[in-house]
Structure 1
């Protein structure tokens, strides 16, 4: 459906994207994820025809579109900064593209009402000028304006960044549902790892103009290909060589203490002691390796608490589900259980 073929983008002496080769399948929800300045938005704008690559080609449906104007690519785009018409009402903004297409007035009005309901815009708000709306409401207008045209390809550049947490969660669900229902091929740019993991079919993780890994959310999280991906996605503990050696010895698994080692925070479990009658505070089955440690910190997050357990040369973070039981005290000695197969290791770079 979409193919980036050796795309290079430079601005004066700065290379924003060095050599991008990437394919997005038809009907896929594909996310470009990474920190600010990593090249993800430049890649999206190049696909939209708003940035001209220094070299390489972009293909859509097998057709080379590198030199094709933006309005000839069959793409709808939602910008982070809204890009609305300030002199028009909300209704007029949403209906603008339909009017350009010469859609009949009755059909246009029905389509606008339908998409407004989907993005939680009221009939009263449709009649307001966009300048009268909050930032979050304006972003919903921008999303509605793109979706009302039912584009074959939808590009979204940080579309939910200005919304409050509850509305962001609501629109995540609605955007994903609409994408599935309509079969819209969607390319989504975000720095929010939670958005990427919950919404995407596949994710490309960018770093300094280069893709570090492409895969499903599960592959990106569970089998991070590089240290950068491991640190950018989710939360992990860095394990020191002494603890890695102890885990290898206790389990018989091959772990190299000379490599950089990480463990996702939900993988280890705490055993409060031999007299507890339970293998872990979280109630999950303990496997393979056990090491002693001391609780040095706890933070409460509502449904769970995050403990920090010092074991040998490492501070290991552990998520524990809140069940109403008394919290473990700082200074308490515990057994830390984990499967060393979950340890992610990477070659140290000089």
Structure 2
């Protein structure tokens, strides 16, 4: 459906994207994820035809579109700041593109009403000026304006970043449901890892103008290809060579203590004596090994707590679901149960 072939984008002496190659399948929800300034928005704008690449080509449906203007690419774009017309009503904003296309009045009316229903905008809201709407409602208008033109591809540039956390979570679900129902190919830009993990079919993780890894959310999280991806997605503990050596010798599984090593916070569990097991599993299994440590910190987050256990040369964070059991005291001696297969290792000096 979409193909980036060796795309590079430079602005004067700055290279925003270097030799980008990726493909997006038809009907896929594909996310470009990374920190600010990593090149993800530049990649999206290049696909939209708003930025010209310095080299390489973009293909849509097997057709090279590198030199085509944006209005001939069959894409609809939703911007971070909504980019609505403040002097127009909601109805006029949604209908604007149809009017430019010279769509007939009766057909235009039917299409605007249909898309408004799909994005949960009421008839009453359609008559209001966009400035009278909340941020979440304005975002629905921006999405409706893009979708009413029935583009082959929907491009979204951090569309939820200006909203509060509760509304952002609600609109994530609604936006994903809308994409699934319509089957529209969607390319989504965000710096929010939770958005990427919960909404995407696949993710490309950007760093300094290059893609570090492309994969499903589970692949990106469970089998992070680089140290950058491991640190950017989710939360992990960096392990020292002493801890890694202990796990290796106790388990009999070879782990290189001279490599950079990480352990996701939900992977280990804590045995606190008298059969008390806290953490990811109710009971340690045959794959885990016990490593002695001492509780040095605890933070309470409502549904879970996060313990830090000092063991050998490492501070290991452990995510523990709250069950009403008494909290472990600071200084409490415990056993960490760690599956060596869960330790992620990368080339480099610890």
> For this structure pair, what is the TM-score category when the shorter chain's length is used for normalisation?
over 0.9
1:114 counterpart residue number: 114
1:231 counterpart residue number: 231
Q: Deviations over 1:306-331 (max 9, x none)?
A: 11111111111101111111111111
* Aligned residues of 1:294 and 1:311 also touching (Cα < 8 A): yes
* Structure 1 residues not aligned, in runs of 5+: none
CA distance in 1, matches of 2:113, 2:271: 56
Q: Deviations over 1:179-235 (max 9, x none)?
A: 122211110000000111111111000000000000110110000000000000000
Alpha carbons of structure 1 residues 208 and 283: separation in structure 2 relative to 1, 3 Å: closer
CA-atom RMSD, angstroms? 1.6
CA distance in 2, matches of 1:290, 1:320: 17
SS of corresponding position for 1:316: strand
1:8 counterpart residue number: 8
CA distance in 1, matches of 2:321, 2:176: 29
Alpha carbons of structure 1 residues 171 and 114: separation in structure 2 relative to 1, 3 Å: farther
CA distance in 2, matches of 1:80, 1:194: 18
1:342 counterpart residue number: 342
Aligned-pair distance for 1:332?
Answer: 1.0
2:173 counterpart residue number: 173
Once the two structures are superposed, the pairs formed by residues 235-274 of structure 1 within 5 Å of their partners are 235-273=235-273
Aligned-pair distance for 1:105?
Answer: 3.0
Equivalent pairs counted in the alignment come to 348
Larger displacement relative to structure 2 (52-61 or 323-332): 323-332
Q: Which runs of 4+ in 1 moved over 6 A?
A: none
CA distance in 2, matches of 1:269, 1:245: 19
CA distance in 1, matches of 2:51, 2:218: 32
SS of corresponding position for 1:310: strand
CA distance in 2, matches of 1:91, 1:251: 65
Name which of 284, 289, 292 aligns with 1:286: 284
* Aligned residues of 2:240 and 2:261 also touching (Cα < 8 A): yes
CA distance in 1, matches of 2:41, 2:283: 43
Q: Deviations over 1:64-105 (max 9, x none)?
A: 000000000000000111111121101110111222233343
* Aligned residues of 2:32 and 2:188 also touching (Cα < 8 A): yes
CA distance in 1, matches of 2:331, 2:111: 62
* Aligned residues of 1:293 and 1:312 also touching (Cα < 8 A): yes
Once the two structures are superposed, the pairs formed by residues 7-86 of structure 1 within 5 Å of their partners are 7-86=7-86
Using the size of structure 2 for normalisation, the TM-score is: 0.95
SS of corresponding position for 2:302: coil
CA distance in 2, matches of 1:285, 1:98: 61
Using the size of structure 1 for normalisation, the TM-score is: 0.95
Q: Deviations over 1:84-140 (max 9, x none)?
A: 112110111011122223334344333323333333333332212122233333222
Aligned-pair distance for 1:282?
Answer: 5.2
